[in-house]
Amino acid sequence: MAYIPGRKKKEEEPERGKKNSTAKLDDIDVLRLKKAHQDLLEAHRGVRESHVEMILNLAIAAEYKDPDTGNHILRISDYSTEIAAALGISADQIEHLRYASPMHDIGKLGIPDKILQKPAKLTPDEWKVMKQHTSIGARMFQSSKSPLLRAASEIAMSHHEKFDGSGYPNGLKGKEIPLFGRIVALADVFDAVVSKRCYKEASAFDEGIIYIQSLAGNHLDPDIVDTFLKIKTIIRKIYDANQSIQKFIEESNNKVLDV
Ligand SMILES: [Fe+2]
Ligand SMILES: [Fe+2]
């Protein structure tokens, strides 16, 4: 018989069904496989953890340039997650939205501080520059292999589009605006209204709700506004809670997320 590399001679091959030392070797192999699988899961958990941390740190870096916004990015994530769950979208999609939505304003890293932190109304030219935070943010992740980062790119690009087509940067209308963009648009507007900013005081929770109702069909998707109103009690809990970065990262560690 011709020699084939790696192939055992016939007499070396174990007889099938016989309980001998080979069976013990098989048990050891199973144990080794289990251990390797466990190690792989651990490694995956570690990668996921650092991925989420990196994402949040990037989002926080953008927030530092806009000092009034505090834990805005975490509340956006919580509001968006609850709206998405109430809309009935898949668990995977909800998870992507949860971790991508904090990056909606990541493009502000590319906007000069004198514009971002100006305590007065922006001039038309400054406003033009400010609007570019959408496309700057989208470009940062648009060719990423990670579905999570591609979702972040889509949200960065679309969170200032308006349902009636009067938004920016592309003037998209209705369902042309990606679903994630329509959800984050609502969360972003609501949080901005009920939070204090350098140019205004915070509105009360109920005033924020009334304001969101008034935007149904013009700025915001009316179906998403309806869903938001249905979960008002949950929204109130997020509004009252003081979400912390640490808690947010810890929660992410318990989830299986395809990043
Ligand atoms: Fe924005
Ligand atoms: Fe925002």
Polymer length in residues for the chain: 259
Average pLDDT value for residue range 1-18:
48
For ligand 1, the distance from its centroid to the CA atom of residue 8, given in whole angstroms, is 65
- At residue 161, does pLDDT exceed 90? yes
pLDDT tens across 19-70, in order? 555 556 688 788 888 888 888 888 877 777 777 778 778 887 777 776 556 5
Q: What is the pLDDT of residue 7?
A: 47
- The residue whose two tokens read 């507007």 is 189
- The residue whose two tokens read 């080979």 is 22
φ, ψ for residue 220, nearest 5 deg: -115, 155
What does the CA dihedral 9, 11, 15, 19 come to, rounded to 10 degrees? Answer: -110
For ligand 1, the distance from its centroid to the CA atom of residue 101, given in whole angstroms, is 11
The CB density around residue 244, as the number of other CB atoms within 10 Å, is 11
Comparing CA positions, the residue from 94, 95, 97, 105 lying closest to residue 59 is 105
Which domains does the chain carry? 27-253 (1.10.3210.10)
Give me the residues paired with residue 82 across strands: none
pLDDT tens across 187-226, in order? 999 999 998 776 677 788 999 999 999 999 999 999 999 9
**Which ligand sits nearest to residue 105's alpha carbon?**
1
For ligand 2, the distance from its centroid to the CA atom of residue 236, given in whole angstroms, is 19
Give me the residues paired with residue 216 across strands: 220
The 3 state secondary structure assigned to 24-78 is: HHHHHHHHHHHHHHHHHHHHHHHHHHHHHHHHHHHHHHHHHCCHHHCCHHHHHHH
pLDDT tens across 220-258, in order? 999 999 999 999 999 999 988 866 666 666 676 666 555
Average pLDDT value for residue range 143-158:
93
Q: What is the pLDDT of residue 249?
A: 65
Confidence band for 1, pLDDT divided at 50, 70 and 90: very low
Confidence band for 131, pLDDT divided at 50, 70 and 90: very high
Residue 104 identity:
H
Here the tokens at position 138 are 């989208």
Average pLDDT value for residue range 73-89:
95
Confidence band for 153, pLDDT divided at 50, 70 and 90: very high
Q: What is the pLDDT of residue 168?
A: 98
- Our separate counts of H helices and E strands in the chain read 12, 0
For ligand 2, the distance from its centroid to the CA atom of residue 67, given in whole angstroms, is 12
What is this structure's pTM?
A: 0.78
For ligand 2, the distance from its centroid to the CA atom of residue 30, given in whole angstroms, is 50
